[in-house]
């Protein structure tokens, strides 16, 4: 017993890696307080202000929070009306040909019709119920990220294409529907190959039997829980870090580099940056106002970029937060 205690004490006396990191942080903090006392406070203030701009102005006061609640409610209504089972039946022949579970396409369609957060909340349990493997669940997320992150984004983008006098049909087919086929195919043959085709008879019915009013109010409550408990915290984390980088002076260079890159790949820079950092819906709203004066190829490029799981807070914050709870995948 005494030998064990002695060994533990000796081990504890040695500096672990995290303790070394902690000591370095302590020393740097003390040096910072001595050399520039306002720096730490300034970084914190910049983080708070940047996060507040999203949390308060966009989610709480703006329309995004209400849109999330409505989208989850709409998604649950569509699920109750049998959309999930219909999607599985329609996609079954192609899924068997590719060799994947047909449920992988469900998040992408719910994403277009509703919202990327509602898609995760609804489709995660659907994938588990359909006995999709972890690789197939990853493919499902991949497919979802390649489609519009809300129906409002799609409609505003359509108006922008019309204003630029662009024939919308081929753009929509290539930008929205082709990825629903290609995205499950490519990763299932390369990086996530633990997939298997299943018979439709082996997949249980996904349509719930809840009463319609319970579905409506339950969906609205679920949307509110999703926003307050998952999405707002994840957005605050992402934009707090951006605020810190901006205060240090790094973020302006990153943002400028992004604009130059977007221009080079035929994407309207201003709305492209909005799609990446803020909201594709906001970007399409701005694009429809300027589309008539912009090169049509830039309008198409911006529309295709918006047809994705952006902004960054969704990819790095909301998707991990939602799917780690709704699926078999960890955050």
For 58-93, the pLDDT digits (tens) are 778 877 778 778 877 887 888 788 877 787 788 878
Q: Is residue 267 part of a domain?
A: yes
With the C-alpha atoms ordered 163, 166, 170, 174, is the resulting torsion angle positive or negative?
negative
Q: Is residue 82 part of a domain?
A: yes
Q: Quick one: pLDDT at residue 4?
A: 54
Label residue 228 by pLDDT band (50, 70, 90).
Answer: confident
Label residue 151 by pLDDT band (50, 70, 90).
Answer: low
43 or 151: whose pLDDT is higher? Answer: 43
**Alpha-carbon span 62 to 244, nearest angstrom:** 24
Mean pLDDT of 197-222: 81
Mean pLDDT of the chain: 81
Q: Quick one: pLDDT at residue 109?
A: 74
181 burial type by CB count under 10 A (0-12 exposed, 13-18 middle, 19+ buried): middle
From residue 238, alpha-carbon distances to 51, 61, 110, 242, 306 in Å are: 8, 19, 25, 7, 19
Q: Quick one: pLDDT at residue 59?
A: 78
Nearest to 310 by CA among 139, 123, 148: 148
Helix axes 296-306, 280-290, angle to 10 degrees: 160
CB-CB contact of 322 with 230 (8 Å): yes
91 burial type by CB count under 10 A (0-12 exposed, 13-18 middle, 19+ buried): buried
Q: Is residue 171 part of a domain?
A: yes
Q: Quick one: pLDDT at residue 48?
A: 92
SS3 category, 150 = strand
Mean pLDDT of 170-198: 83
Label residue 47 by pLDDT band (50, 70, 90).
Answer: very high
Quote the radius of gyration of the chain (alpha carbons, Å): 23
Residue 217 CB: number of other CB atoms within 10 A? Answer: 13
- Range with the poorest average pLDDT among 133-142, 238-247, 302-311: 302-311
Q: Is residue 193 part of a domain?
A: yes
Q: Is residue 169 part of a domain?
A: yes
Helices and strands of the chain, counted as H and E runs: 19, 0
Mean pLDDT of 301-322: 79
Share of the chain above pLDDT 90, in %: 8
Q: Quick one: pLDDT at residue 41?
A: 83
Nearest to 144 by CA among 281, 322, 330, 331: 322
Count of domains forming the chain: 1
Is the pLDDT score of 11 beyond 70? no
Is the pLDDT score of 2 beyond 60? no
Q: Range of 136's domain?
A: 64-326
From residue 293, alpha-carbon distances to 193, 287, 302, 329 in Å are: 46, 10, 14, 45
Q: Quick one: pLDDT at residue 8?
A: 56
Mean pLDDT of 163-181: 84
Q: Is residue 280 part of a domain?
A: yes
Say which residues have a Cβ less than 8 Å from residue 228's Cβ, sequence separation at least 6.
Answer: none
The string of pLDDT tens digits covering residues 107-138 is: 877 776 666 766 777 778 878 888 888 888 88
Mean pLDDT of 274-295: 82
Mean pLDDT of 3-30: 73
- Strand pairing partners for 164? none
Q: Is residue 58 part of a domain?
A: no
- Residue given tokens 């490519």 in the structure block: 186
Mean pLDDT of 188-203: 80
From residue 249, alpha-carbon distances to 243, 254, 262, 277 in Å are: 10, 10, 21, 17
50 or 117: whose pLDDT is higher? Answer: 50
Label residue 45 by pLDDT band (50, 70, 90).
Answer: very high
Q: Is residue 161 part of a domain?
A: yes
Is the pLDDT score of 5 beyond 60? no
């Amino acid at each position: 017993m005494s030998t064990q205690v002695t060994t533990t004490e000796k081990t504890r006396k040695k500096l672990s890696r995290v303790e070394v990191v902690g000591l370095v942080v302590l020393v740097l903090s003390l040096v910072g307080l001595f050399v520039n006392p306002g720096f730490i406070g300034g970084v914190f203030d910049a983080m708070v202000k940047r996060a507040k701009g999203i949390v308060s102005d966009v989610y709480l006061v703006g329309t995004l929070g209400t849109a999330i609640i409505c989208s989850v409610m709409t998604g649950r209504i569509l699920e109750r009306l049998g959309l999930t089972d219909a999607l599985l039946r329609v996609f079954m022949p192609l899924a068997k040909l590719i060799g994947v579970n047909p449920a992988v396409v469900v998040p992408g369609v719910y994403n277009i019709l509703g919202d990327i957060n509602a898609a995760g909340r609804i489709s995660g349990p659907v994938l588990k119920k359909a006995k999709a493997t972890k690789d197939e669940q990853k493919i499902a997320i991949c497919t979802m990220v390649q489609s519009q992150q809300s129906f409002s984004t799609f409609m505003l983008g359509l108006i922008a294409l019309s204003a630029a006098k662009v024939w919308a049909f081929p753009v929509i087919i290539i930008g929205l529907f082709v990825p629903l086929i290609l995205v499950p195919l490519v990763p299932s043959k390369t990086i996530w190959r633990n997939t298997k085709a299943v018979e439709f008879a082996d997949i249980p019915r996904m349509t719930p039997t809840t009463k319609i009013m319970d579905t409506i109010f339950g969906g609205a409550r679920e949307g509110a829980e999703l926003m307050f408990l998952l999405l707002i915290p994840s957005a605050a984390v992402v934009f707090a870090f951006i605020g810190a980088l901006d205060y240090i002076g790094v973020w302006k260079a990153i943002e400028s580099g992004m604009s130059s890159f977007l221009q080079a790949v035929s994407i309207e820079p201003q709305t492209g940056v909005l799609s990446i950092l803020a909201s594709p819906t906001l970007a399409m709203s701005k694009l429809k106002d300027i589309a008539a004066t912009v090169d049509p190829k830039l309008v198409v490029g911006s529309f295709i970029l918006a047809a994705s799981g952006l902004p960054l807070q969704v990819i790095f914050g909301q998707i991990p937060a939602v799917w780690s709870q709704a699926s078999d995948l960890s955050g």
